[in-house]
Every structure is written in C-alpha cells, then in structure tokens.
Copies of this chain bind each other. A is one copy, B any other.
Amino acid sequence: MALNPLDNIRVVLVGTLYTGNVGSSCRAMANMGLKNLVLAAPNLQNDWEEGERLAVHATDILHNRKEFATFEEAVADCVAVVGTTAREGLYRQHVKTPREAASDILALAAQGPVALVFGREDKGLKNEEIAQCTHLIRIPVDEGYTSINLSQAVLITAYEFFTALGNYQMPHEKAPPAPQAQKMQLMKNWSKMLQEIGFMKPEQEDHFMQGFHRVFSRGVFTKDDAALMLGVARQAIWAKNNLNGENK
C-alpha cells in the first residue's frame, strides 16, 4: 500500500503557552487524519489537566508528542517547513492560502517529513523562524477579526490537507435516482388524480402540470421518492371513490 502523505506531516507548535490549545489541536489533528505532534520550545503556563480534557479521544496524539528545545531541532529532518502567519511584512509576502499550497506540499510529504509550523498564541512566529520556512501560508479570515485561535488554525490547515488528498468518500444516496419513465408515470398519474379530485380542469392541465414538473425536478429525486408520490395519487383517487365524506 502506498504511503499516506498525512503520516509524513507533523504539526509543530512553537512556544505554545496553553495546554488547552495543545489538547484541542490534538483533537483537530485526529479529525483530519494527522498523528504526529511536536512541541518546539514550549512555554506552557498551565498544567496538562486542561490539555488532556480538550484532547478528548485524541490523547494518544498528546501522549506520543515529541518535544525539542528549539525550532531548528524540531524541523531538522524535514523536506518542507511550512510556516503559518497572520501578519504581513517583508519576509511574509510570498504567502499562499492553505488550499492553494496543499497539493504541492502533499507531493513533498510523499517524499519526506513535512512540518506545519504554528507560532505562539500571542506573537506568532518570529522573523528568524519565518526565514527558515520553505513555504508560508495564511488562513483567509475576515479583516474585522484576524486573530484566530491556535487550534482553529491547526484545524483549518489540517482540513485543507485532508480534503486535498481526496480520500474522503461522502456516503452516497442509497436509493437510486428515479428513471425518467417513472417520473413521467408520476406526472401522468398525478394529472389524473388532480382532475378526479377536482383540483384542476382538463384545459388547465398544461399550466398546472408545468408547476408540478418544476416541483418534482428540484434536486435528486429517487425511486423511493417517486414511489411515495405515486402512492399519494393512488390513494387520493381511492379516497374520492370510496370514502364518501367519511374522515371529515
């Protein structure tokens, strides 16, 4: 089986202050298929109780984390070092969005370790850290509030890599779509029913049935959907013929 490039991606948190953000990042990583967490020069201000709690069922990622004293050591073996930055500046001009950058970086991750680097909660990455990055990404955010929580930044970045890989299969509609003949039968039976119950006269058929065509043509219409609506037509005719004012 081919290597999963996500297994070659590590999330490197630099100088992180709060264990809660580390824990939330673990959960976000697990949601998006990432496993490798590295803390570089952590500067943690609280104990691990909050971190453990917010990791929820991703505590394996938290417990298997690696720690390095410096940023340089954390990324020494990486073939690509992808920095994230919200700030602008001379060395931050060649940024891309995570969506723009994802496929190129996944191709590198198929060849060797890749670091996704996230800076301090309060100050981000320093210029000397940015200078060591081979790629820079910036998450699109509203200009009215550009400060994004650390684990939220990890989530969106990881999400873009996960979706770019294209391995996710949406569950597909289990009922097959209705074939055209069934839809035409539905229109015919509804027309008959609508006339029998006195909803429309024969000369109004063209006008009204265009409306019903439109209603039944929106989106996917399955065989089960068509069978259900055919049942309504059958029952309305039966009721008109047999109930004679009962159930009023």
Contacts and interface: CB of A to CB of B under 8 A. Distances in A.
How many identical subunits does the complex contain? 2
Interface of A is mostly: loop
Interface residues of A, number: 44
A235 B238 CA distance: 97
A45 interface: no
A148 B93 contact: no
A10 interface: no
A88 B139 CA distance: 31
A23 to B, nearest CB: 11
Interface in A162-181: 162-163, 168, 170-175
Contact of A94 (B140, B141, B147, B219): B219
A27 interface: yes
17 contacts: A27-B152, A28-B149, A28-B152, A30-B145, A31-B142, A31-B146, A31-B148, A33-B144, A56-B149, A57-B145, A93-B172, A93-B174, A94-B219, A95-B171, A96-B170, A97-B170, A156-B159
Q: What are the 5 tightest A-B residue pairs by CB atom distance, in nearest-first order?
A: A33-B142, A30-B145, A140-B168, A31-B141, A93-B173
